[in-house]
Amino acid sequence: MKKLERYIKEKYDGTNYWFVEEIHSIHNQQLVQDVWIKKEYLNGNHKILQRSSYKYNGKEFNPRKIVLQYAKTLLNFQKAYLLQNPLTLTGNEKIIKEYQRVNRKGKYDRLNLKLLDKILKYGRVAEYVYMDKSVIKSKLIDPSEGYPVYDENNELLAFIESFICDGIAYYIVYEEEVVSKYDNAGGDMRLVERFANLSGLPIVYHNDNEISGVEGRSELDDWISLLDSMEDLISKYTDSFYKFIDPIFVTQGQQLKGESLPSEVVGKGINLDDGANAKFLSNQLDYKSFETIYQTLLQSLLDVSQTPAVSMNKTDISNLSEVSIKLLFQLANIKAGMNEQFMREGLEERFEKIRKLIEYKGIKFSEDEFETLDVVFQYATPSNDKEIIENLKQLREMAAISLESILNHSPYTTDVQMELNKIKSEGNIEESKSDGEDNKKDQMEKVEV
């Protein structure tokens, strides 16, 4: 008996529509609810908007509700820092050429950005690799619609995709060998389609979670409390500013009777008796305390998200060396390295599935060829390109580095293998030119003789 069949029999008594009960379990509903909360937050529904009006000086006062969308900025920075530069495939020339073709036709560079975006926002996302008219593609399954099924050993047994459209519930059940599509159109559950599954189960990407080894954790969970405090602070301070900006006019002593100074001469005026005084009184706002608290919260947000202050225009810099730049972006590099690890795990699984699908097209790679396949991430770290080129040049003159390594470290190279091929072709052209010149010289010598 297969593991999935045993799971269905033990937990759902072998019912045909076990997937409906699976997705409506309390745990799965809590996960989906958490995803929707994050979506609402990113859409601008913040806690500060729930502030209610109150009475001030006998009138109803509507407080300021300032929303700071710093979360989107931080998420965009992390995403772009790791994947702004396209990934570079390395390995055997034959396998690299085929995988690059798959990447271009399947638009995988864009897909990788969407993958990381979902993981950072919601902690997890799923990718299903399939073949569409001989073109290998991937489909992203949104975390709010995807339900992985694990056994007690955290082994993925199946994957359920569920969504509602026009009042009809759709269910797509991915098993190791088949993909089944169900819906309840007409009121009763029915099997609509069933396909052979050539690539296996979807790939489940997730980041680290201290509580679970198969479920990720949204980056927003570490930021929302700080952002709520910043929004609350700046909104209340703005309220205080507008409430206290209208001072109270106070006079001390006896005011003389009679007309005041003509308004057309010096504006408005009053006449006071000898020794009397008049002045405006207003509350003094402690802006220094506000500035200190706000800057502390902002710096804490940058520290927790491991975002360099210089990237948020919070630090002035000029004429920095390569070492200084690396120090400024050290935390960002550490965070990008952590994000790279779970991205790399999913990509390696994707490579294996693509290999399976390529074999159906009659293209096979040996185990030794496939093991050479690797991917290189190029972080979007600001760099002193002139300094890097000079160092590479010195290493090359010392015969301490290969041409391929130079291209890997060059800030101007995006596709190492393509550049190597171009250099080789240019070398062949130069050789043919030199051979032609030599032949011409030989002919001239023969004529002279």
Domain with 180, as residue range(s), is 3-58+89-206
Q: Lowest-confidence range among 77-81, 247-251, 368-372?
A: 247-251
Count structural domains, the chain: 1
pLDDT of residue 90: 84
Reply yes or no on whether the pLDDT at 276 is more than 80: no
Residue 439 located in a structural domain: no
Using one digit for the tens of pLDDT, what is the confidence trace for 338-359? 999 999 999 999 999 999 999 9
Q: Would you state the structure tokens that stand for residue 83, as one six-digit string?
A: 């994947």
Q: For residue 22, what are its two tokens?
A: 């699976």
* 30 within a domain of the structure (yes/no): yes
DSSP state of 312: G
Inter-axis angle of helices 330-360 and 108-122, nearest 10? 130
Q: Is residue 257 scored above 80 in pLDDT?
A: no
Pairing relation of β-strands 124-132 and 135-141? antiparallel
Burial of 242-260, coded b for 16+ CB within 10 Å and e otherwise, reads eeeeeeeeeeeeeeeeeee
Longest dimension (CA), the chain: 130
| Residue 328: band (very low, low, confident or very high) from pLDDT cuts 50, 70, 90 | confident
Domain assignment present for residue 146? The answer is: yes
* Residue 43, domain member (yes or no): yes
Residue 201 forms part of a structural domain: yes
**Which amino acid appears at position 283 of this protein?**
N
3-state class (DSSP) for residue 172: strand
283 to each of 40, 242, 250, how far by Cα in Å?
38, 11, 14
What's the whole-model pTM score? 0.81
pLDDT tens for 245-254 read 666 666 666 6
Q: Which helix (H) or strand (E) holds 56?
A: strand 54-56
Terminal C-alpha separation, the chain: 90
Q: Does residue 424 lie within any of the structural domains?
A: no
Residue 430 domain-assigned?
A: no
**Average of per-residue pLDDT values in the chain:** 84
Distance CA 99, CA 355 (A): 9
Determine phi and psi for 23, rounding to 5 degrees. -75, -20
